[in-house]
Structure 1
């Protein structure tokens, strides 16, 4: 039997029935069509079939005999020009993984309705998820594209200028809109083979025996590896506690643990080979509660015990201050997991290198972290692990640990073959980390005039089976527990506890999102006891330049938190059911940890090559460093070339975490550009005379460790501040979110707005709808039913970018925004609901709301 399909005006006849997406991607090389879920939920695989929008990941080609199919590659030259300009001009592109699917949804709409309303656009893209943007700018882009296509208006020539503080178009937009940019799984090689891990059946079980003999007999099987094949089986991001595979005789720690690793000649045979591996287990009772895990006599998940880390932050005498206070509030808050839900499932490709190591194509938050962990596993020199980054389809903290990179490298190193290892959506969900569940007991006090006097906090974090970033996340929850307020008496304790749950690690906000929810909610109760309006209470107590943060650090002159409150005052007072919250977030690792941003500028073929390993998962690293170079050199974007991260070409700029790259790598780039500027001036502006020269910038001022005996330690190089107002209607539906954020100088205003809008919508999901169900330590998860906000659910979002009174001259005054945008959302929503119905909501996701009824 055969089927004939016309794809992008070319006819193709098939005799093998397969998924439409596999035919388009694997057979025709149309890699704009992405597989984000394989369940028809995310829309990244959207194509146009006879004028209808179709999800290619769930339909077989036999359904489309005689059909005409269009992908982004098949758009007309005019359509391509319009969509690239519209998505660029409005800032509708971040990571880019969802973008071609969004364009296809837009095409179907605009072909039928050339002038749709914003509501009609939102409805048209409801089947397409975006985790980055918050949808507002995508709707803007489709609205603009409709205008150009309907009127025939000429698309303006791209402005080659980019300066700090402007709205210049991102340099990576075209490849993301048209799908020509490559994520790791988009790379196609004739000699590729495929790998996959066999995962444990139980969160906690003894592995008695692993029999691979039948699997090895499968005709497509290349090899089956187990723990005994790994030179060093225990690795980790910070703590070396994460097994590459669980060996015979040892106990699994969570449902994502691997027990064997298969390489196959074809991707289609992988599951059949895995099914032939026989594993004998003795199932054990999992420890799923951190308090159970801390109990005396509890089985040890790791040899050193079940407490990963303990933190204590003391300043002044909090207990005395509470005893003497006019008003005291004590409340306990509990927050659950949150799934990153980046749309690109993890994938890595590895093959042997000439020097006895491996080459790799990956998508992570640091190629040098990958190099370190892979070389540690293989026990070879780091320089023999050569990693270059593809595009990264979202991260939000979820790509800091090894997921597939180490398995791809191990298989390539052992077999001598080029190996692609890609996770399914469900495996991605169980393998990579989550936002930490926490139980937080908060006691706050104030005097009779409403000035805060003390905070006593106890925080217990469920870090799951492995350390990941659990220690630093818990530490950050503690150091930020007092919020951006004038608490001079604090006693804060925190523990990160191992359990047999999914691993918790870095997630946008990095512990601060959790403790901010507790602090802000407590402050509302404290204001109520004082008889003060919550806005007035905050305005009285927020830190200003020269004040001292709860951690002892003196607030610098750029702090504009009071100005943020002033910017949202009108919105807060606009109705009876509004909620308010403030937040702050550090830029950089801080607390005494060495931390450097780095950039090399090289003059090659008359262009300035910008080389840094700073990973971009959508936030716009390329645009940030390009704008800084153009600002410093007074040159055009066309005079520069941005290079993707590559361990053989780009210096180690540290991990894209802790909202650090704009400040740290931005300042390193400015320093390198300043040196280049001076060199250009020395040769009378003739760049050709500098051909082949390199200019290096590095930035990483020292900070003081937690517990420093200094009166005013410098915990972090910079902080960003913000506040958010939630406006509900009488039914409890969110009508509007109004935010004001002080991020110093916005390097690119459109990009900063996009980060804030995306963070807001992610925060709304955390607060209201994203319920990560984990019965017995085995996640019950589907992307389509998890509770991610879709375009037609997002309220109006209004953003104010605020500047403080002073200026700190690093990176032209810029600070981070990516994490901060998530921090104040949940407490703002909780406060609005409290004002609506008088009910305190002390757990997340909230129950008994317009979005989620009480269980």
Structure 2
């Protein structure tokens, strides 16, 4: 309506009448910024992801789509507007089913569920799938969410009372995760939910070209804008180079320097209001000398190629040799050689990167983040500002997914820098398109592979050349390449192994850590080659793998003796029936390390402190959805028999929680779990003599450090990693060539939490299906040719039934009650299993991902 020439928008939100006089804006912005209803999450602002789902007159709607002017007289319900009964039922059902992981999509999923259950008291699974089709979950694979919605319908329909949580958390028991309710109901805070008086907003101006020399940066027009506060450039930074292992990534490209990809930051602009950031940034004029970019490995390795970095265009080289592969291949009965290609892929975590920073103490800074290691952030920020680490205080909020994509600095350093300079709170948040542009992806790899076996089908040798496109900066490209090489052996028993790997710089988006850490790429090639060897022998694919599978006591291709917990044979036996049940079933196997390994120092740490009768579990281990807090709770409960009401897991904080390493390499359950166990054993001894109340103020410290050998070790049987987990997967197609069923058998040792474990596996399989069949990250001439909605992410209606089978090897590791990591493992064999299924389906042997000429993807022109 219009009153006295002014627009007034009238509608209701959660039963409250709203009369708003002001600019016409998107409903999402109004809910979050004006009403502070932050349970409605901003995942993309493009109408693609569904995290911002609300109900408008009972109909599920993405709040980022309608403007206030379209809502006259309408009734809006957000997650905060559920009734007390709905709060209780939905939070219980989503926790009980294990439908909550990172939690960022969960409020939107619950609003979808309400929209269905309000009109259909007894919905079918198909109805549920269609209801949540517009909402993406990157963690769960949807199965647990569907189970939760069906469960909630039963509770509502039958008016069932909600059971209470199990009081004593133990390992292997069903236990609802400790952060499920706050995530489900939107009360838990992610970084973008932080509100601080006087906070200003900053945004990086990105390079207009993949490769260009910056000649001039002119902010004169931007300075005229009433909301302009400051432009920050490389000249304002004490140290302009950052990076995990290799300090080659510029905070800003300085005047006179050359950009390396389109995500490079030229400067940072600061505004009084978030709404005017883009406008101010557009007023900054940058003059460039445009240069020809290096867009492929071949171009980068050419003799006349321009140097992307001073040291050359090769980031790292790995050459791993065991035995004599050339001789073994020459003397083998069957030899198969093929070349395989894997693409860039995007993590597509639900929460875009965001950081909030403010001054703390004298010259110090406090940074609220959502990354994968607060200590990595502290280290890099302190290096940039040339401050002692004690001056950089990092605190983790809830993290809305990561999968490796939040290991590098993206916004944390920019927020910290601006707050340090301006001495006031600053928020930096990437738009979804910026996120796609900036953070490292999964490495594209070209893999030339030769695999050999004898006349009986026993593997004899493997030789490979792996070229990884690491993009513009090192990130974790070196370790990713190394893992692609070391794990190219697969979970098989043979002794002749020769892999040469190179990671090459180009002027494309950087590549770094991504779930599977290079093993997804080499596994696709290795498993595909094995199928061709089996064809030559006339063996079926299951039997060939069973014949060559590692057993406890075998010497692995890296020389390590397979431990008594090695369970790949048990995995194969668990999927045998599924494989032989259909001529359209494909199979693949994988192994994945737990822990960084290869001689790199690696520690998990925990402090248990008794404060006001509560045992505080203090560790910096980042949870991106995998359930670290719940794991720690169950580890403590298993050791000390405490009740949940007597335990509290603190958020990672560099002042309060000891460094437990990065959440990477499937390591936190093993390393932090063992650290919690060690601290808990001390507490247990103390509790044998005194009551908990008598231990007030006491602290118990636990640390676990792995002992492994470097990759260059000359030992006869080096220990590369402290633990390996194993998986065999079978993907079955229906008669039309669409996904029908997946059976995933995993050896992950002792079960910590059944819902979390099976949810991780289902989510990992769904991600692997996307990698194999639909996901791509196209670029053209160094520019992105993709948006979030066109990445090819699978929806609930695309994901088939996923059956999880949990197995164990003959014995258990003594570490952390015998647990092993699963976060990466479950994604690795899925794409090659899809390749094998389609090979059996139509006889076409595909060598590139995502697979072409399938029901999901046509052949490229």
Matched ranges for 1:426-441 at <5 A: 426-441=433-448
Give the Å deviation of 1:282.
1.1
In 1, distance between residues paired with 2:711 and 2:855? Answer: 42
In 1, distance between residues paired with 2:296 and 2:138? Answer: 30
Query: Which residue of the partner structure matches residue 298 of structure 1?
Result: 305
Give the Å deviation of 1:826.
0.3
* Unmatched 5+ stretches in structure 1: none
The C-alpha deviation readout for 1:471-514, integer Å capped at 9, x for no partner, is: 00000000000101112001111000000010000000000000
Query: Which residue of the partner structure matches residue 702 of structure 1?
Result: 707
Residue 317, structure 1, aligned to residue 324, structure 2: yes
Residue 57, structure 1, aligned to residue 64, structure 2: yes
Query: Which residue of the partner structure matches residue 6 of structure 1?
Result: 12
For residue 779 of structure 1, the aligned residue among 784, 787, 790 is 784
For residue 144 of structure 2, the aligned residue among 114, 123, 137 is 137
The C-alpha deviation readout for 1:217-272, integer Å capped at 9, x for no partner, is: 22211100111111100011110000000001111000100001011100111111
Give the Å deviation of 1:12.
1.1
Query: Which residue of the partner structure matches residue 157 of structure 1?
Result: 164
How many residues are aligned here? Answer: 853
Matched ranges for 1:255-294 at <5 A: 255-294=262-301
Matched ranges for 1:412-811 at <5 A: 412-683=419-690, 686-811=691-816
Query: Which residue of the partner structure matches residue 169 of structure 1?
Result: 176
Give the Å deviation of 1:688.
1.4
Give the Å deviation of 1:682.
2.4
In 2, distance between residues paired with 1:716 and 1:645? Answer: 26
Give the Å deviation of 1:729.
1.4
Give the Å deviation of 1:355.
2.9
TM-score for the superposition, normalised by structure 2: 0.99
RMSD of aligned alpha carbons: 0.7
Query: Which residue of the partner structure matches residue 15 of structure 1?
Result: 21
Instruction: Report the secondary structure of 2:460's partner residue.
Output: strand
Query: Which residue of the partner structure matches residue 202 of structure 2?
Result: 195
In 2, distance between residues paired with 1:585 and 1:355? Answer: 45
Give the Å deviation of 1:291.
2.0
The answer to whether the 8 A contact 2:41-2:104 is kept is yes
Matched ranges for 1:231-270 at <5 A: 231-270=238-277
Give the Å deviation of 1:781.
1.8
In 1, distance between residues paired with 2:625 and 2:706? Answer: 26
The answer to whether the 8 A contact 1:387-1:647 is kept is yes
In 1, distance between residues paired with 2:559 and 2:174? Answer: 37
Deviation beyond 2 Å, 4+ runs, structure 1: none
Q: Structure 1 stretch 211-220 or stretch 752-761: which is displaced more? A: 211-220
Give the Å deviation of 1:611.
0.4
In 2, distance between residues paired with 1:464 and 1:701? Answer: 32
In 2, distance between residues paired with 1:713 and 1:157? Answer: 49
The answer to whether the 8 A contact 2:597-2:706 is kept is no
The C-alpha deviation readout for 1:283-304, integer Å capped at 9, x for no partner, is: 1111111122012121100000
Give the Å deviation of 1:806.
0.6
In 2, distance between residues paired with 1:539 and 1:675? Answer: 44
In 1, distance between residues paired with 2:783 and 2:556? Answer: 41
In 2, distance between residues paired with 1:546 and 1:259? Answer: 55
Query: Which residue of the partner structure matches residue 849 of structure 1?
Result: 854
In 1, distance between residues paired with 2:331 and 2:235? Answer: 62
The answer to whether the 8 A contact 1:34-1:45 is kept is yes
In 2, distance between residues paired with 1:179 and 1:374? Answer: 30
The answer to whether the 8 A contact 1:213-1:277 is kept is yes
The answer to whether the 8 A contact 1:161-1:168 is kept is no
* Unmatched 5+ stretches in structure 2: 1-6
Give the Å deviation of 1:160.
1.7
Instruction: Report the secondary structure of 1:844's partner residue.
Output: coil
Matched ranges for 1:310-459 at <5 A: 310-459=317-466
Give the Å deviation of 1:343.
0.8
The answer to whether the 8 A contact 2:570-2:808 is kept is yes
The answer to whether the 8 A contact 1:720-1:820 is kept is yes
The C-alpha deviation readout for 1:348-393, integer Å capped at 9, x for no partner, is: 0001111311001100000000000000000000111011100000
TM-score for the superposition, normalised by structure 1: 0.99
